[in-house]
């Protein structure tokens, strides 16, 4: 077998790039976490690095994120070959092709009113609406984290088609049935990913499904804090890998 490159921490080996598919989370992995999702900054050298990497990987470069695909297009225009958005709820397998949406249930109508009530009762909490759910961000007011969790857990308990996910200083209510792990599996079934070894990098609880899926497919899954320290560490490693 060809030479494998050691990853930071020496815990995992990276297959040669011509046999690798690189599947990357966005926030906290490629981009530094910002006070709100709209405040993130894309470093210019990251754009260069991803462009180079995509070439070296024979296009096998994908972003797997909780954000809608349109936001990935706005932040990294034309850079990944494929994008999975909304935690695997929607996947665009080929650039410029229509995105394929996993059929998911809509949350009960009263849930959004409940989310709005929670926001008004906990000043500083931010409501982010998603197509099939919503997120309550409590980054600015961490003391409310537990109370929000209790309220949302009570909602989700009554509707088993939905799950409550912990994210970074946020709680997300979304349907089960699609996650970042199902996105990894779906991407790896098609060219240019097919036949390569998936290497997934993510920073968050929601990335653990993808890490498991990548490892189950014979590849590697890595958590940013353990392997790279932070997003700057990931960017530096990607730049070295692309060089």
CB of 50 to Mg ion, least distance (A): 16
Q: Rule CB under 5 A: say whether 28 interacts with Mg ion.
A: yes
Stretch that binds Mg ion, among 1-9, 79-87, 171-179, 198-206 (CB under 5 A): 198-206
Q: Rule CB under 5 A: say whether 179 interacts with Mg ion.
A: no
Structure-token match 């060219």, residue found: 191
Give residues 92-111 in contact with Mg ion (rule: CB under 5 A). none
Q: Are the C-beta atoms of residues 92 and 100 closer than 8 Å to each other?
A: yes
Which residues form the catalytic set? Answer: 25
Judged by CB under 5 A, the number of residues near Mg ion is: 5
CB of 30 to Mg ion, least distance (A): 9
Phi then psi for residue 208, to 5 deg, are -65, -35
Q: Which of 7, 15, 20, 27 binds Mg ion (CB under 5 A)?
A: 27
CB of 43 to Mg ion, least distance (A): 16
Which residue number, 15 or 207, has a Cβ lying nearer to Mg ion? 207
DSSP 39: G
CA dist 24 and 38 (Å) reads 19
Q: Are the C-beta atoms of residues 162 and 156 closer than 8 Å to each other?
A: yes
Q: Rule CB under 5 A: say whether 172 interacts with Mg ion.
A: no
Instruction: Cis check for the bond before 192: say yes or no (omega within 30 of 0).
Output: yes
Q: Which of 135, 204, 219, 235 binds Mg ion (CB under 5 A)?
A: 204
Residue nearest to Mg ion (CB): 28
Which residue number, 154 or 166, has a Cβ lying nearer to Mg ion? 166
Instruction: Report the run of H or E that residue 234 belongs to, with start and end.
Output: helix 231-242
CA dist 103 and 234 (Å) reads 33
Stretch that binds Mg ion, among 21-29, 83-91, 146-154, 191-199 (CB under 5 A): 21-29
Which residue number, 28 or 219, has a Cβ lying nearer to Mg ion? 28
CB of 80 to Mg ion, least distance (A): 15
CA dist 22 and 171 (Å) reads 27
Three-state SS for 17? helix
15 burial via Cβ count (<10 Å: 0-12, 13-18, 19+): buried
Q: Which of 90, 203, 214, 222 binds Mg ion (CB under 5 A)?
A: 203
DSSP 84-109: EEGGGTEEE-STTSPPEEPP-PPPPH
CB of 229 to Mg ion, least distance (A): 15
Residues lying near Mg ion in the complex (CB under 5 A) are found at 25, 27-28, 203-204
């Amino acid at each position: 077998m060809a030479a494998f490159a050691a990853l930071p921490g020496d815990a995992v080996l990276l297959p040669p790039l011509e046999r690798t598919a690189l599947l990357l989370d966005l926030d906290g992995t490629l981009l530094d976490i910002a006070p709100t999702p709209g405040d993130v900054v894309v470093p210019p050298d990251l754009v260069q690095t991803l462009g180079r990497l995509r070439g070296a990987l024979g296009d096998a470069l994908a972003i797997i994120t909780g954000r809608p695909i349109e936001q990935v297009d706005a932040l990294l225009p034309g850079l990944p070959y494929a994008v999975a958005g909304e935690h695997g709820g929607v996947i665009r397998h080929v650039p410029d092709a229509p995105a394929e949406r996993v059929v998911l249930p809509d949350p009960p109508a009263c849930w959004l009113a409940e989310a709005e009530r929670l926001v008004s009762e906990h000043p500083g909490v931010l409501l982010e609406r998603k197509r099939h759910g919503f997120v309550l961000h409590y980054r600015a007011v961490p003391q409310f984290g537990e109370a929000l969790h209790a309220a949302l857990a009570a909602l989700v308990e009554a509707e088993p088609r939905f799950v409550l996910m912990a994210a970074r200083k946020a709680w997300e209510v979304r349907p089960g049935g699609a996650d970042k792990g199902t996105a990894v599996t779906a991407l790896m079934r098609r060219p240019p990913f097919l036949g390569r070894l998936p290497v997934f990098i993510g920073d968050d609880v929601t990335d653990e499904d993808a890490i498991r899926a990548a490892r189950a497919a014979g590849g590697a899954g890595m958590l940013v804090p353990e392997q790279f320290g932070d997003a700057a560490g990931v960017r530096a490693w990607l730049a070295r890998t692309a060089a």
